[in-house]
Amino acid sequence: MIAQPKKSNLAFTEYAYEFPAVKAFGNMLRPFSGADIGTVFRKIEQLKEDTHPGQQLDLGELLSQLAASAGKKSFLVFKNNKYFTVPTDSIAFFYVKYESSVIMCFDKQEYSVNYSLEQIQHLLADKQFFRLNRQYLVNFNAIKEVEHYFARKLFVRLAIQVSDKLLVSKEKASVFLEWLEDR
């Protein structure tokens, strides 16, 4: 038996638990029937048949590529008693200031957001943003240069000047350099 989500005062709660369809495989977190499962398996079998001979279908790889390419396109912010959206492309980096997350745009405008840096990291495309350390999540386009630093760490300079010294740990240094190169 599948557990049903708790009832809420919000309208359309049945849509709150749905994921967008991934290559028409259906939604993942909603109540489903045996017919729904059968439909998904038929679609998977059809996809396997449509692949060329010798070509392997790796469903996990396909799903990870789709998830990596996706990413939040904008953030809703509140400033000066107004709500508006900030496009992700205009964001230079996210950082933690007084235990809350802040957006810094390329035009040097700052906006507070109601997400933790970890939540933001999962919302964004991996190819566009990288988590340098516990306090900074940077856009690839905001990186000006990278230098070697003491004890095999990396020192990152951004196009926008920051008061903190942005260091990448020696454990993350090789992953960061691969991320920079993978364009």
Quote the pLDDT of residue 20.
46
pLDDT in tens, 99-128: 999 999 999 999 999 999 999 999 999 999
| Backbone φ and ψ of 31, nearest 5° | -60, 135
pTM equals 0.62
Yes or no: say if 14 and 27 are a contact pair by the CB < 8 Å rule.
no
User: In the prediction, which pLDDT does 112 show?
Assistant: 94
* pLDDT of 38: 75
Q: What is the pLDDT of residues 54-99, one digit of tens each?
A: 566 566 666 666 555 568 999 999 999 999 999 999 999 999 999 9
pLDDT in tens, 10-40: 555 554 444 444 444 555 555 666 777 777 7
pLDDT at 39: 78
CA–CA dist 65, 67 (Å, integer): 5
Domains of the chain: 13-51 (no CATH), 74-181 (2.40.50.40)
